[in-house]
Chain A
Amino acid sequence: NAGVTQTPKFQVLKTGQSMTLQCAQDMNHNSMYWYRQDPGMGLRLIYYSASEGTTDKGEVPNGYNVSRLNKREFSLRLESAAPSQTSVYFCASSELSGGNTIYFGEGSWLTVV
C-alpha cells in the first residue's frame, strides 16, 4: 500500500551543490508532478509529466530539471542549489492530468545553507 514514495525525506545542502529527489508511484498513474510548499504560499507546481515520455514546466521551474524515467518514476534535480530553494517538496501522481484526484508523497524537507 505504498502509493507515492519519495526520497530523501530530509536533506541539507550547501549553496551550489546538486542533488536529485527521487519519486516512484505504484498506482499505474499516467501523470506525475513536483510541487514545492512554502509558508504562506500554498503549493506551487514546479514541473509535471502528463504521461510517460513528456514533461512540462509548471509555475516555478527555474533552477530545476526533471526526468520521467519510466511510468513509475519521476525525479527532480537541483543543479546548483540556492537558499531560495529551501522548501518542502512534494511528488504526486494522478491517473490523468485533468479533473482527477492527486495522490501525494510524504514530502522532502530540503534546506540550502
Chain B
Amino acid sequence: GDSVTQMEGPVTLSEEAFLTINCTYTATGYPSLFWYVQYPGEGLQLLLKATKADDKGSNKGFEATYRKETTSFHLEKGSVQVSDSAVYFCALSRRTGGFKTIFGAGTRLFVKA
C-alpha cells in the first residue's frame, strides 16, 4: 500500500544553516505530494505542495521538488530561522480511488540562535 517515509528527528541546526529533510514515498499512480508544518500547540498547516512530476513547491523560503524517478520530495531551506522550529510532515494524496492521504511520522526541527 501507499506509504511515506521521512527522516527521523530531531534535527538541530544553528540559525542561518541549510536545512534538508528527506522524504520518500511508495504509491501507485501519480499522487499529489505535500509538506505540512506544525508549530507548538497548533494544528498542522500546509507549507507547500506539488501535484505532478518535476513540479517545485515553494513557500516562506522552503522548497521541495517532486521527483518521480527517485520517489522523493525532500524539503529544503537555504537559511533557517529560530521561528522555523516546528514539526514537519511529508504527505501524499491521490486524486482518484477514494480517500487516500498518508502522512509521514514527522520530523522535529530545532533551530538555535
Contacts and interface: CB of A to CB of B under 8 A. Distances in A.
Nearest to B44: A104
23 contacts: A40-B105, A41-B105, A42-B103, A42-B105, A50-B99, A98-B94, A98-B96, A98-B100, A98-B101, A99-B32, A99-B51, A99-B94, A100-B32, A100-B93, A101-B34, A101-B49, A102-B46, A102-B93, A104-B43, A105-B43, A106-B41, A106-B42, A107-B42
A43 B44 CA distance: 10
Contacts of A100: 32, 93
Size category, B interface: 20 to 34
Size category, A interface: 20 to 34
Interface in A38-73: 40-43, 45, 48, 50, 56
Interface of A: 4, 31, 40-43, 45, 48, 50, 56, 90, 92, 97-107
A98 B95 contact: yes
Contacts of B106: 42-43
A50 B98 contact: yes
A56 B42 contact: no
Contacts of B43: 4, 90, 92, 104-107
